Amino acid sequence: MKVSTRNECKGDFKRVEEITREAFWNLYVPGCDEHYLTHILRDHPDFISDLDFVAAYEDKVIGNIMYTKSYIIDESDNRINTITFGPVCVLPEYQKQGVGSALIQHSKKIASENGYQAIIVEGHPHNYCRHGFKSSKDYRISNSEGKYPYSLLVLELKKGMLRDKNWKYYSSDVYDIDKKAADEFDKKFDPKKKEYKYTQEEFSIASRAYII
């Protein structure tokens, strides 16, 4: 399956929000709020528009990846700016065909060319280790509480820059979703049934797991 990647444009906004909703609906919780995150992210100061890409197949947008600014601080209060992607999504009927990988690989290349030093994400290792991500504990990068979440993953774009120090990771506050606002935003879309799926239990377990 051959897909093309390009920067998102204003004409893609609604389509991307619809794709995001379809991709995440009932995946981690009944319903989802990732499409609302996509909507508010574009106007947030941490949003990196140069790393906002869509994937297209036969001139139809079928996937998207977005990045925000993040940072890490060591024990001496030295700060390094990093970047974080999410949401990254693909329409369900095109999943497991390399579309998400194409978005990640393309954005990694552009991020490296633009001088970014590391990408830090929160996600399932199964999805991201294939792209070179490793556990944050391998780089001694904890969350703000000093813990090492199972889901916190790191990719060095500048090799060796994270060695020999202890770090704490801080993501953008755009990810602190207002649930009521997200529910109101969802009313703008066609109704969909909220229901339980086993993937929600997997997410619940993984999101509460830590490496010691």
pLDDT one-digit tens code per residue, 73-126:
999 999 999 999 999 999 999 999 999 999 999 999 999 999 999 999 999 999
Please give the full DSSP string across 74-125, using - where no structure is assigned.
Answer: ETT--EEEEEEEEEEEE-GGGTTSSHHHHHHHHHHHHHHHTT--EEEEES-H
C-alpha dist (Å) from residue 138 to 16, 128, 129, 205: 34, 15, 13, 21
Number of H helices and E strands in the chain, helices first, is: 6, 9
How far are the Cα atoms of 58, 99, 180, 181, 194 from residue 33, in angstroms, in the given order?
28, 22, 10, 9, 12
Which residues pair with residue 168 across a beta bridge? 73, 142
User: Is residue 164 very low, low, confident or very high in pLDDT (cuts 50, 70, 90)?
Assistant: confident
| Cβ proximity of 186 and 35 under 8 Å | yes
Quick one: tokens of 120? Answer: 């830090």
Tell me the whole-structure pTM to 2 decimals: 0.95
DSSP letter, residue 188: T
CA distance 177 to 184: 12
- The string of DSSP codes covering 50-63 is GG-EEEEETTEEEE
pLDDT of 7 reads 98
N residues, the chain: 212
Report all structural domains of the chain as residue ranges with CATH numbers, in order of start. 4-169 (3.40.630.30)
